[in-house]
Structure 1
Amino acid sequence: MSMTSRSIAQSENLLGGYAYQIIRQQSKQVFKLRSPVLADTDPEAVHEMRIGTRRLRSALSLFGNVITIQNTDSKKSSSSQLADAAASGIPSRLTKAVSKLTKTLGKVRDLDVMQQWLEKTLAAPNSGKAAATSQLEKAEKKTVKALLKKLKKRRKQKFSSVKKVLSNKSYKKLTHQFNQWLEQPTFLPAAQEPAARAAAVRIVGPITELLQHPGWQVGTSTRSNQTSPIEGLNLSDLNSLLARSGHQLHDLRKQIKGIRYQMEFFRGLFDLTYAAQVREFRAIQSLLGQLQDQTVISQFFTDEIGADWPQQLPTIEAAFQASRLDLWQQWQSYQRKYLKLQSVAISAA
């Protein structure tokens, strides 16, 4: 029996009802942050809005064949509209607009993270070491203060792009499209599928793809058809490995993040084991994120003060080096588990 769109949207047992509630929640979360972001009194507003847009993009990707959102762009030809609808119920221009917002916010957020990290480093208490070391620390602080000044100037420039994006016609059109759909939701046939069964199917595919990601293979060796992490890497070897293959770990982290968002949407449908898996993905993402943060900050230092920045900022370099091996060893405990799961998945294929 065919149901009305409003009945589907209000159902907690149908995939369409889940889609409606999730997209409603995520879009409202994004749009309510516009004023706090533009006020620019707390960098957390940018952070929260960026996360909100990421979650919204994940929701649109997950429910692309469940909902249909009208394209309000009158300049688009009818043939283009039909092609859009054939691929997904969501106009490509809408997803691109959300993606552009994410990227614009991201450029400011990345600078905020570096600024907060440097400010925390600058505020750290003196270690009470010998006079020569204390003098060196003073020199480092001078360099850090100069870097902070550059960061603040760069952030001001990037934030002007945020203000522009949040005030232009495209943003107004974006909010109108979502609000219009929430008032009059429309769905595709998949919306009437039972939520729990459909959720399981939609999550299994992305997790299977995740297990095949080459990032799991970084820093491994294979013996007798068994792949495992290389044990006992020294710092020099680890630095070389990250220089060669760090981009694969960064891409793996992004894929884990997207899947985690999608899994969180369905957390209420499943048991504690499912929730534990979501937490584990968050932990892996955090470890890889800390390694990536070091890479980004190191590159910033290289761009601003040269490749010899470790000599100019030896305390920071020492802190990076001390934490890197520890982070890597924590990562390897997860890597070992997922390599085994990868092997099982390959055997079952």
Structure 2
Amino acid sequence: MTELMIQDAKTLADWSYIAISKHFKKILKHEAEVIQDKDPEELHQMRVGMRRLRSACTGFSYALNLPKAANEKNVGKVARILGELRDIDVLEEALKQQYQPVLPKPEQKALNTALKILSDKRDKTFLKVKKILQGDLYSNLKEAFQEWLDKPIYQDLGYLAIQTVLPDLLLPQVSHFLLHPAWLIGNNSIELHKNWTPEEVENLLHKQGYIVHNLRKEAKRTRYNMELFTEFYGESYQNYLQDVKTIQSILGEIQDCFVLADFLTDVFGKNLEDGIPTLLNKLQEIRYEKWNEWQDLRGKFLNPETRQEFHLTILASESKKLVETNGLTHV
């Protein structure tokens, strides 16, 4: 089948094909290296491809008629297993590169115990990754996506001009993002409480940090959805996309600190505070720092004018970049 180029894409179906083809190829590109397990970056890239393929399946669901095995649920199963291994790699890198070198000697030595346990856990998790990549679920998934890419089938809505449906694709996810309860965490109104102490932030995050973590996942979905359509928008859209990325990153660093603390609790148990007090204080400092960084963006997105402008930006796609079509486009 002839490859569809971006400049030739006119319909929702065209753009769904481009997205799925791009991310599917990325997955295949890194698959062999992941199974060989020589470079953690290969795993990272394959996981990103899986996540974005899943996002494309969800974002273009109105247009797609995929084979049964090529569904969002199956992509998610593989992505989660890859994610487990990637999370361990990130944790190991943070311990070795970011924290261990700056700790007192006794705590550096204590972390060696944690790193050994983490290494053993990684070995077991890698076996799960290898099993799923060499198993029927993944094999059937690949075969189904390739079958669809060779002979794509669409729902009727897929043949609408992309300009007609673009806001309808983007605004629902943006609304989920903006209506998330984490924006008002610790507040009874949109007025932000400023000058929180580290202790106040810690108490709040320990009680309701899961809500903030959930907003991070919503930001990620919003980012992936918006990145599907950057061709159609200008600077204002790019600025909002960057804000969403920053929110995802900031809240992700807060979550990473909790994940690391939970792992260390499992390793050291009751001896945690005595064994690695400097590291625990460092994690609290990072959470407090990131919390304060989030407050500026939090205030921005609680502003009614920002929220209205965000919606209007999505509605005002740059029509000069779009090619309208009244007929069908076969790809």
After TM superposition, the score normalised by the length of structure 1 is 0.83
Aligned to 1:175: 142
**Runs of at least 5 residues in structure 1 that lack an aligned partner in the other structure:** 73-90, 127-136
Task: Name which of 197, 202, 205 aligns with 2:172.
Answer: 205
One-letter amino acid of the counterpart of residue 239, structure 2: A
Q: After superposition, where does 1:52-67 map in structure 2 within 5 Å?
A: 52-67=49-64
Deviations 1:52-109 (A, max 9, x none): 111111100111120112336xxxxxxxxxxxxxxxxxx6xx3222111111011111
Task: Find the aligned partners of 1:60 and 1:257 in 2 and give their Cα distance.
Answer: 15
Aligned to 1:30: 27
Aligned to 2:207: 244
**Cα pair 2:4 2:18 within 8 Å, conserved:** no
Aligned to 1:20: 17
**Cα pair 1:9 1:20 within 8 Å, conserved:** no
**Cα pair 2:254 2:286 within 8 Å, conserved:** no
Deviation at 1:209, TM superposition (A): 2.1
Report whether the alignment pairs 1:219 with 2:219.
Answer: no
Deviation at 1:258, TM superposition (A): 0.7
**Cα pair 1:211 1:341 within 8 Å, conserved:** no
Aligned to 2:195: 232
Aligned to 1:49: 46
Deviation at 1:173, TM superposition (A): 0.9
Report whether the alignment pairs 1:187 with 2:187.
Answer: no
Aligned to 2:301: 338
Report whether the alignment pairs 1:263 with 2:260.
Answer: no
Aligned to 2:37: 40
SS of the equivalent of 1:229 reads coil
Report whether the alignment pairs 1:304 with 2:267.
Answer: yes
Count of residue correspondences: 308
**Cα pair 1:8 1:17 within 8 Å, conserved:** no
**Cα pair 1:211 1:342 within 8 Å, conserved:** no
Q: Which has the higher contact order (CA 8 A, sep 6+)?
A: 2
Task: Name which of 91, 101, 113 aligns with 2:90.
Answer: 113
Aligned to 2:75: 98
**Cα pair 2:301 2:307 within 8 Å, conserved:** no
**Runs of at least 5 residues in structure 2 that lack an aligned partner in the other structure:** 312-331
How high is the sequence identity, in percent, across the aligned residues?
29
Over 3 Å off, 4+ runs: 5-11, 341-345
SS of the equivalent of 2:61 reads coil
One-letter amino acid of the counterpart of residue 141, structure 2: L
One-letter amino acid of the counterpart of residue 47, structure 2: R
Aligned to 2:242: 279
Q: What is the aligned-residue RMSD (CA, Å)? A: 2.3
Deviation at 1:312, TM superposition (A): 1.3
Task: Find the aligned partners of 1:220 and 1:280 in 2 and give their Cα distance.
Answer: 22
